[in-house]
Structure 1
């Protein structure tokens, strides 16, 4: 089974940024980003917007990166 937020992880690599660099660019603590990326806590709307800005993700593609529809609930 894939890790949560697989597409977002791929985007980190495409932008040549580490998870910690994205967290810093988005104004988040690294520990907060880690908890979100592990699926332990949901992203807040402002966090999604800040991460998307850092990674140049257009609004119409938020679903692809932040909402994994294939994961079991």
Structure 2
């Protein structure tokens, strides 16, 4: 998995939490996640990343494989 950028946005007002599972992105390794909008590192994750996003909100993250 190369450096990738993803936009996470909810599909319905009842679902404020977004789950991104690395296996669905083709990766099962540890990755680092950076919030590009707020310019903050969110940490390293293995298996998936979860965040709260308000309806009509967006989370813009960069996912990088930790080697």
Normalising by structure 1, report the TM-score.
Answer: 0.25
- Greater share of helix residues, 1 or 2? 1
- Greater share of strand residues, 1 or 2? 2
Which of the pair has the greater relative contact order for Cα pairs under 8 Å at 6+ separation? 2
Normalising by structure 2, report the TM-score.
Answer: 0.26
